[in-house]
Structure 1
Amino acid sequence: MKRIGILLGALAVSITATSAFAIDIDSRYQPYQPTTGVSGSLKSIGSDTLNNLMTLWSEDYRAKYPTVKIEVEGKGSSTAPPALIAGTSQMGPMSRPMKAAEIDSFEQKYGYKPTAVRVAVDTLAIFVHKDNPLTCLSLTQLDGIFSKSRLSGSPEIATWGQLGLTGEWAGKPISLFGRNSASGTYGYFKEVAMVNGDYKDTVKEQPGSSAVVQGVAADKFAMGYSGIGYKTADVKAIQVSGRDGQCQEANQKNAYTGAYPITRFLYIYVNKNPSSPLDPLRGEFFRYVLSLDGQRDTSKDGYFPMPYVFAQQELGKLGLK
């Protein structure tokens, strides 16, 4: 999977964000301008990571077009391709790119590939309880914590003492929370942190990101992972170091440069015939998402805005420029 930092770094993206709480939106973004002739119903089926953001976008979009109806269902990225193929949804949010087999199945039915639209940037956060003194973990350590395969060469890590914590923490086992296999987050973490190894049997798989965060918040000795947008005051996102050994915060600057090693785009997939324009209902939805208003929603939900240059590329891909 191509790393986001390679793409963003190539454009020499420059921002002023210095902490996880400072989110900047490019000044070139313009407010969304409503138009006429927009009506109908949309169904969105897919990513749990994007569920709250899709709901927020949909509510604000409907405020501009009161006759529009949008239903959002977020049970995991793997539910998006079948729904798009079957025509039971018009939008397929995903926290990972579609797999080759999913694209092939879509193309077999429609004769063309689905269109992937990048809509936000996410740092996949490693959460611990707010009272946990741990500050940083490496990808290799995460492999030793979550994977029984440990393909990175890490020794098995089962207690907080093995991570350098002392006192009451030293002998306590690490209680692990993660996503289930329907989740794109499950697959992305498996690829980047675990070198595609297998999860330990002790990982408590959750149906949604909020359940992961709630589990960590309720257990002083827990650790889990989810998109940064699900962070609450009861947990903290620790720094993560990549292969260079440098600890990095899960903030906007480190996401854009790729310094934070578990960074990704978030997508909405659509069925767009290359020979036909996108219908106004979906077209204006994407115009809204990739406008100043839509990207403010993105920031409000705790994710990072699409770099403006990339947003323009996505609008061009949809024939909306």
Structure 2
Amino acid sequence: MKPCLHLAAGLLALGLSLDAAAASGGVPADDPALAFVAALPAYVPEARVDGTIRVWGHGSFKRDFMGHLVHAWIDAFRAHQPGVRFDYRMYGTASAVGAVYSGAGDIAILGEEISPAAARAFLRAKGYAHTDIPIATGSVDVNFYDYAHMVFVHESNPIDAMSMAQLDAVFGAEHRRSPRNLRTWGELGLDGAWAAKRIQPYAWKTDVDFALFFRERILGDSHRWNPDTQEFVHATRADGSQYDHGQRILDALAADPHGIAISNVRYARPGVKMLRLSREDGGTAHAPTPAALIAQDYPLVRIIPAIVDRAPGEPLAAPVREFLRFVLSREGQSMLIAHSGYLPLSRDVIEVQKARLR
């Protein structure tokens, strides 16, 4: 399911363009990531700018998750804009938004969507909301690169697709998207022996970041989960290795024919199957393929933002605007593929964001 990111990275490191790489046969010409990037316009500066851009965001002193990517962006951008300098502080999503609203940073490149707490803190500090500019699509299944949430059932379950409203009615308790809660498989349309069987949900611990995203996207930001939900955290095996929460969830599901689970395909195993998801009841249901994520057709796609401080009615600082325009260009999104596990944005999304930068 994953695009050939490592092949693309190797070819780009040798100086080959994505177009040339595809033409040479090194990367499949129909690779969704390459196809989306090839349609993007190249970066053309709107103005020559100078100054210092202070960049904060996703990473740590031990694991600089975004380092190769952001440094590649910086080096390539400075070839166009040699008067711009950078102060690099990519040592944690948690500190990044605070750096922007306190005036210590200009751009916060997050490793996930901004948390409700960080958004509230920004609003309290500045008196107006933050501005978020999407710069990447989360991965299908790459750890540390915001992989998509996926919904699984037991392999014996005949259901193959669900809507966002149905997920809310199953995993939530306030049914904000649906007229009522759904607690049996019969209420989801299954008949025969399935009809009276109670649905058993499995999920991440409901106060961790993974669950916060699901809560906002599916439960309408309700804090009230289905009380039957079994929550999982990372555990340690007898040999000292980590037993990841996503794996624990699907292992539990594989033993429960009446279960339903939130996890990711990286943990898929015999005994479970993944569902296609639709935004609306009766709408087209999509599997979490790279193309469906890039096009944002799949409802549980993750979108990576850059957070900036933009007062109402005021323009962005010119160096910040030009750097974000570069990140959203063909070159910037090509480097995204080469130096990270993220997927690019679609051209339609990028055009909307470029308009917001003006």
Q: What TM-score, normalized to structure 1?
A: 0.60
- 2 CA distance for matches of 1:293 and 1:309? 17
Counterpart code for 1:156? R
From 135, 150, 163, the counterpart of 2:160: 135
What does residue range 1-321 of structure 1 map to in structure 2 within 5 Å?
A: 22-23=32-33, 24-30=35-41, 42-44=55-57, 54=66, 57-61=69-73, 64=76, 69-74=88-93, 81-87=97-103, 89=105, 90-91=107-108, 93=110, 94-95=112-113, 101-102=120-121, 104-108=123-127, 113-121=129-137, 124-128=148-152, 135-151=160-176, 152=178, 153-157=180-184, 174=200, 176-178=202-204, 180-181=206-207, 183=209, 186-197=211-222, 198-201=224-227, 202-204=229-231, 212-221=245-254, 224-225=261-262, 231-232=265-266, 234=268, 237-241=274-278, 242-244=280-282, 246-251=284-289, 254=292, 260-262=298-300, 265-272=303-310, 274=314, 277-279=317-319, 282=320, 285-296=323-334, 298=336, 304-319=343-358
- Unpaired segments ≥5 residues, structure 1: 1-20
- Unpaired segments ≥5 residues, structure 2: 1-30, 79-84, 141-147, 235-242
Q: Contact between 1:30 and 1:292, CA under 8 Å: does it hold in 2?
A: yes
Q: Contact between 2:247 and 2:267, CA under 8 Å: does it hold in 1?
A: no
Q: Contact between 1:120 and 1:304, CA under 8 Å: does it hold in 2?
A: yes
Counterpart code for 1:95? E
Change (3 A) 1:84 1:218: farther
Q: Contact between 2:167 and 2:218, CA under 8 Å: does it hold in 1?
A: yes
Other-structure match for 2:240: none
- 2 CA distance for matches of 1:215 and 1:32? 45
Which digits, 9 at most, give the CA deviation of each residue in 1:237-275, with x for residues without a partner? Answer: 520133125432234655577654445654221124635
Q: Contact between 2:295 and 2:345, CA under 8 Å: does it hold in 1?
A: no
Change (3 A) 1:42 1:96: closer
- 2 CA distance for matches of 1:139 and 1:194? 9
- 2 CA distance for matches of 1:165 and 1:96? 41
Aligned length: 278
Q: Contact between 1:178 and 1:224, CA under 8 Å: does it hold in 2?
A: no
- 2 CA distance for matches of 1:147 and 1:276? 40
- 2 CA distance for matches of 1:58 and 1:130? 41
Change (3 A) 1:179 1:316: farther
CA offset at residue 107 of structure 1? 2.8
Q: What TM-score, normalized to structure 2?
A: 0.55
Q: Percent identity?
A: 15
- Match of 1:91, SS state, is strand
Other-structure match for 1:15: none
CA offset at residue 91 of structure 1? 0.6
Which digits, 9 at most, give the CA deviation of each residue in 1:94-118, with x for residues without a partner? Answer: 526979855532433xxx6533212
Which digits, 9 at most, give the CA deviation of each residue in 1:46-84, with x for residues without a partner? Answer: 9xxxx9984563253356579863424245xxx764443
- Match of 1:190, SS state, is helix
CA offset at residue 135 of structure 1? 3.0
Counterpart code for 1:136? A
Counterpart code for 2:149? A
- Match of 1:95, SS state, is coil
Q: Contact between 1:56 and 1:297, CA under 8 Å: does it hold in 2?
A: no
- 1 CA distance for matches of 2:346 and 2:49? 28
CA offset at residue 186 of structure 1? 3.8
- 2 CA distance for matches of 1:92 and 1:69? 11
Counterpart code for 1:249? A
- Match of 1:247, SS state, is coil
- Which deviates further from its counterpart, 83-92 or 252-261? 252-261
- Match of 1:137, SS state, is strand
